[in-house]
Amino acid sequence: MAIKILSVDDEVDLELLLTQYFRRKIRKGEYEFFFAHNGLEALQVLLQHPDIDIILSDINMPEMDGLTMLTKINEMRNPALKCIMVSAYGDMDNIRHAMNNGAFDFATKPIDLDDLQVTIDKAIEQITYIRSAQKEHKQLVDIQGDLSVAREIQKAILPRNFTLKMPDEGGVEISASMNAAKDVGGDFYDFFKIDDERFAFTIADVSGKGVPAAIFMAVSRTLIKATGMQGVPSAECMCKANDMLSGESVDNMFVTVFYGVYNAKTGVIDFTNAGHNPPYVLHNDGSVEALPVAGNIVLGAFEGLPFTSGSITLQPGETLYMFTDGVTEAENMNHEQFGEAYLKSSLEQLKGASPKDIIADIEQKVKAFAGEAPQSDDVTQLVIKRK
Amino acid sequence: MYICRQLLFIKIIPVETVMDSTTNHDNMELIIKNEGDTITGVLSGRLDTAASTQFATDMQPLVDNAGKHIVLDCNKLEFISSSGLRLFLTLRKAATAKGGDITITGMNADIRQVFTITGFFPLFKFV
């Protein structure tokens, strides 16, 4: 596109001089010239052609002088519009005044056109740079907009209604929360009814954060749910989901998953832990016990691996507390971690608390612990209490 | 008997600028030493999500040489996030594909625990 130059001078001779000197550039469509004879006219031309790039203006003119015009142009706040001021040789006061008022550069009369060419080239270089920065800025703003939409979508796919559509709501109280460190996160929780007797639940953490993790999270959640809904044992669900995810995994992304199938009649949980932090069981006497480390590998790493399941029975009043490492690895300003020990002792003080209260309490403790330190990882909790 | 150890190249790459010069917490560094059929990566600092992007580039020589004996010296590794673990997995897969092996030395108990929980422990030889 042609560079649009507005020349402002009350001496008409200059028009001829410029069009003559730059005729090749004009013919090739590189430059396009506009002319005005005082500041007021110049502003009118600028209104009609807001895409003018460079203004080449005399300082001493009737009606509105160059310095007044410069002030008006500065009010437009367009960093991609450059003004080159022209004044008599030795008119240093006006030139300094112009430079201090945001002129890009100056030329002295009689104009050395070769030198002016260099100045124009320099201005074009800056304009091009500013334009591309403005374009990138706009793209970033657009992406930010997309991200906040993605955040809403991600929130919407996690269940927020904590009642199961089962007889007596499955005989349990459930609560969960997910706070992403970035706009979108890689953590998720899920729970869904299998039949009138059983429901399944998941807590998971995808490697990494941000958009790639969020996409992998959506895929993982869907695969696990679709497999789990068929009512297969937990180990088989993890095995199938792992085979499918290993096939899909780009860049060796993986997901740590704790998946369980709860029997509402017996309180028995058939669970498989695929590389996830072991959950805690809150017993009725206030003691807190971590489930043993399973030794299963994360999902998405290697195809065709077997998974070992375990089984526990939740007694009435007992609670299963599941979390992601965003809780235990939350850091304060000194890079100290929240840690398993503090989590366990916090849970020990929550004897008899409801899942909702447990989540609120731990969330608050994590926040208080981190203090001013930025949240470095998604913080997710899923809590199930047998009534 | 005279053994000549040829040091092919040493690369020092600071990943992030350190805000607090008295601690090295935010600094992840990888030094790679190529000695005969063994290639050693010395890791130090915190391999968190922010550092893992640069680390993925820095560890490319290890991936390229995954057919050799790789030694990962983790004596000075302070922390690893899941993004960091992913890079260990990348390296492990490259080693399997090229017939190499990976030995991890001096990993602290906290990080070892992460390897245990995630089931990564059996994938590597620990010394």
Closest by Cβ to B89, choosing from A274, A296, A301? A301
Residue B37 lies in a domain: yes
Range list of H helices, A280-376:
325-328, 339-348, 355-370
State whether the Cα torsion A228-A232-A234-A238 is positive or negative.
negative
For B65, the domain range is: 24-126
In terms of DSSP bridges, do strands A255-263 and A268-274 run parallel, antiparallel, or are they unpaired?
A: antiparallel
Residue B112 lies in a domain: yes
- pLDDT of A260 higher than 80: yes
CB B56 within 8 A of CB B68: no
pLDDT at A1: 80
How far apart CA A125 and CA A135 sit, in angstroms, is 16
Residue B119 lies in a domain: yes
Q: What DSSP letter does each residue of B47-110 carry, written as one string? A: E-HHHHHHHHHHTHHHHHTTTSEEEEEEEEEEEE-HHHHHHHHHHHHHHHHHT-EEEEES--HH
pLDDT at A366: 96
A-chain CB neighbours of B79 within 8 Å are 335
Tokens for A249, please give them: 């995994």
Residue A274 touches chain B, beta carbons under 8 Å: yes
- pLDDT, chain A, mean: 93
Structure confidence by residue, pLDDT tens digits, A336-385:
899 999 999 999 999 999 999 999 999 999 999 999 998 888 999 999 99
How far apart CA A387 and CA A146 sit, in angstroms, is 42
Inter-chain residue contact A297 with B119, CB threshold 8 Å: yes
pLDDT at A155: 84
- pLDDT of B70 higher than 70: yes
Tokens for A240, please give them: 């199938």
Inter-chain residue contact A254 with B89, CB threshold 8 Å: yes
Residue B77 lies in a domain: yes
* φ, ψ for residue A91, nearest 5 deg: -80, 60
pLDDT band at B9 (very low <50, low <70, confident <90, very high): very low
Residue B52 lies in a domain: yes
| Interface-testing mutation among A182, A256, A298, with chain B (most B C-beta atoms within 10 A) | A298
pLDDT band at A109 (very low <50, low <70, confident <90, very high): confident
Q: How many domains does chain B have?
A: 1
pLDDT at B87: 93
- pLDDT of B13 higher than 70: no
For residues A252 and A297, which has the higher predicted lDDT (pLDDT)?
Answer: A297
Interior angle at CA B94, CA B88 and CA B99, nearest 5: 120
pLDDT at A48: 94
Search chain B and give the residue with CA nearest A308.
B119
pLDDT band at B26 (very low <50, low <70, confident <90, very high): low
* Mean per-residue pLDDT, A124-142: 93
Inter-chain residue contact A294 with B116, CB threshold 8 Å: no
B-chain CB neighbours of A207 within 8 Å are 82-83, 85-86
Structure confidence by residue, pLDDT tens digits, B74-102:
999 999 988 899 999 999 999 999 999 99
Inter-chain residue contact A275 with B119, CB threshold 8 Å: yes
| C-alpha to C-alpha distances, A256 to A148, A189, A220, A311, nearest whole angstrom | 25, 12, 10, 19
3-state class (DSSP) for residue A191? strand
A-chain CB neighbours of B52 within 8 Å are 208
Inter-chain residue contact B119 with A253, CB threshold 8 Å: no
Compute the count of residue pairs across chains A and B with CB atoms less than 8 Å apart.
64
Structure confidence by residue, pLDDT tens digits, A76-96:
888 889 999 998 888 889 999
Amino acid identity, residue A50? P
Q: How many residues does chain B have?
A: 127
pLDDT at A152: 86
Residue A88 touches chain B, beta carbons under 8 Å: no
- pLDDT, chain B, mean: 81
B-chain CB neighbours of A296 within 8 Å are 119
Structure confidence by residue, pLDDT tens digits, A135-181:
999 999 998 898 888 888 888 889 999 999 999 999 999 999 999 88
% of chain B with per-residue pLDDT over 70: 80
How far apart CA A120 and CA A159 sit, in angstroms, is 60
* Mean per-residue pLDDT, A111-121: 94
Residue B4 lies in a domain: no
Search chain B and give the residue with CA nearest A331.
B79
Residue B17 lies in a domain: no
Residue B70 lies in a domain: yes
CATH of residue B88's domain is 3.30.750.24
How far apart CA B86 and CA B40 sit, in angstroms, is 19
Structure confidence by residue, pLDDT tens digits, A40-81:
999 999 999 999 999 999 998 888 889 999 999 888 888 889
Structure confidence by residue, pLDDT tens digits, A293-347:
988 999 999 999 999 999 999 999 999 999 999 999 999 999 889 999 999 999 9
CB A313 within 8 A of CB A266: yes
- pLDDT of B4 higher than 70: no
How far apart CA A239 and CA A249 sit, in angstroms, is 15
